Structure 1
Amino acid sequence: MTYQILLVEDEKWVRTALRKVIEKINLPFAVVHESPNGMEAWEWLERSHADIVLTDIRMPVMDGLTLLKQIRNKGKGNTADIIIVSGHDEFAYAQQAIRLGAFDYFLKPVEAEEMTECFRNWLQRQKTAASVSTIQQAGEQYRTPVEQVIHYIESNQRFDLMLAEAAALAHLNPSYFCKLFKQQKGVTFTDYMTSVRMREAARLLEHTALRITEIADRLGFADAAYFSNTFKKETGTSPSEYRKRLHPA
């Protein structure tokens, strides 16, 4: 299956460069249409389909943020994810786009490596959403989207689940999902995931011979030192001290 990308950028040479990067990364994505501004993109979306809208922020007629709001508020079932492309001086706009529900953003110039990582994350999210859909079709019903996400985490041991992906599983924007999670569970999603990760870390320290760096990686921590600091903050002891206490020499 090839996923469809709508490319929105007012400068043709930038569109050409982005298209070449997309072709270069060798993932199942293809640009199906190019638009020079948000208005033309919106008109195209009303009659056509795209899985991803890759859009610049500053454009004539309609800018990228306005297009994002248009899709989210008036999309009439349009499920396209938005990825923002911005210059360094537009970083605040990119942050605003994330708060409005954009999947990710790139700073110009866009490198193949970062686009590859972004698109792989997007593919993983689609796979995750498909797994949840399969569970639902099998007849398992959960009272709330929050409980559905928690069940998914526990059933699939997704200790590296990020907020954007969790919100997508719940079919909610990240901001609303955060509020709903806190209301129903009394803790933030971030604090909940930290607690889940630390419980799993304690189990791995007790029952496996995995190195601390390997445990950190398995739990979604890019930095082992940060993992150790988090574990000590939660348990009062470092991972190495915790293991020594359980398995004294």
Structure 2
Amino acid sequence: MYSILLVEDEKWVRTAIRKVIEKTNLPFQVVKEVTNGIEALDWLRDHSADLTLTDIRMPVMDGLALVNQIREKQIRSDVVIISGHDEFEYAHQAIRMGVCDYLLKPVEIEDMEKCLKKWITDTEKKSEDEPHTEQDIKEELSPIEQVIRLIKQSMPGDISLKAAAKEVHLNSSYLSQLFKEQMGKNFNEYVTELRMNEAERLLKRTSLRISEIAERLGYADLAYFTNSFKKYYGVTPSKYRKEHK
């Protein structure tokens, strides 16, 4: 049974899509329903879905931003975009970003069946062509490449040097030295840079409150987050958002 994450802000539409999936009688199950891209990313941090079905237009974070984040964070979930007839340009843009298919609203059983069957065929073919396991991928990467991959996968949360060192089976002091030599900055500086970049993106592209952004990025103290952001960008988060609306 293949798992599906359904991302749609209107409950009645989610219900309709879930029923359409069930009526195809294909081996798919909606394991989670969320209302926007932020909720989807939060769920995908600790769970997995073979396929993500997402609407284009949603509050807080839209479908295109979600697709971009799934690709940037290397989340292992294929994406199908669901759009209205007047949103074809958005769907076309999503296809250029690497989604595997798109469906038009209202989603018909025949279209859903065709989409899911195509995904199964493509997935089976991909499995035959790419025999590498996750362990194979790790073995092909250097320790620092593995650590960078681990940091990005843990975003928007936080990861410690000690935890990263344990993952790549190195002494934390040695990893710290190696990281600085190869990256030109220390581990904490690199993590802070990624967190600040994520904060900037969330301020620009979502309607999350600043306190919510701080919490998502692992900052328990809002004042500390504000000071860190100001130190990095020269202005407070609230001022940055006003200047970039």
TM-score range, shorter chain: 0.5 to 0.7
Counterpart position of 2:66: 67
| Counterpart mapping for 1:81-120 below 5 A | 81-120=78-117
Aligned equivalent of 1:160: none
1:79 deviates by 1.5
1:125 aligned onto 2:122: yes
Contiguous gaps of at least 5 residues in structure 2: 134-245
Q: Deviations over 1:189-244 (max 9, x none)?
A: xxxxxxxxxxxxxxxxxxxxxxxxxxxxxxxxxxxxxxxxxxxxxxxxxxxxxxxx
Provide the rounded CA distance (Å) in 2 between the counterparts of 1:41 and 1:52. 12
Match of 1:205 in 2: none
Counterpart amino acid of residue 124 in structure 1: T
| AA matched with 2:109 | A
Distance 1:58 1:113 in 2: 23
Indicate the residue corresponding to 2:21 in structure 1: 22
RMSD of aligned alpha carbons = 1.3
The secondary structure found in structure 2 opposite 1:46 is helix
User: How high is the sequence identity, in percent, across the aligned residues?
Assistant: 59
Distance 1:48 1:32 in 2: 10
- Partner letter of residue 36 of structure 1? T
Following the alignment from structure 1 to structure 2, what is the Cα–Cα distance between the partners of residues 66 and 51?
A: 19
Matched residue of 1:122: which SS?
Answer: helix
- How many residue pairs get matched? 133
Match of 2:5 in 1: 6
Aligned to 2:187: none
User: What is residue 35 of structure 1 aligned with on the other side?
Assistant: 34
Q: CA deviation at 1:133?
A: 3.6
Amino acid at match of 2:86: D
User: 1:153-232 counterparts in 2 under 5 A?
Assistant: none
Higher relative contact order (CA 8 A, sep 6+): 2
Q: Give unpaired runs (5+ residues) of structure 1.
A: 138-249
Q: Distance in 2 between matches of 1:94 and 1:133?
A: 28
Is the partner of 1:41 in helix, strand or coil? helix
How far apart, in 1, do the equivalents of 2:129 and 2:80 lie?
24
Normalising by structure 2, report the TM-score.
Answer: 0.53
Per-residue deviation, 1:126: 1.4
SS of alignment partner, residue 46 of structure 2: coil
What letter is aligned with 1:49?
S
Question: What does 1:144-159 align with in structure 2 at a 5 Å threshold?
Answer: none
SS in 1 for 2:69: helix
Distance across 2 between alignment mates of 1:113 and 1:46 = 32
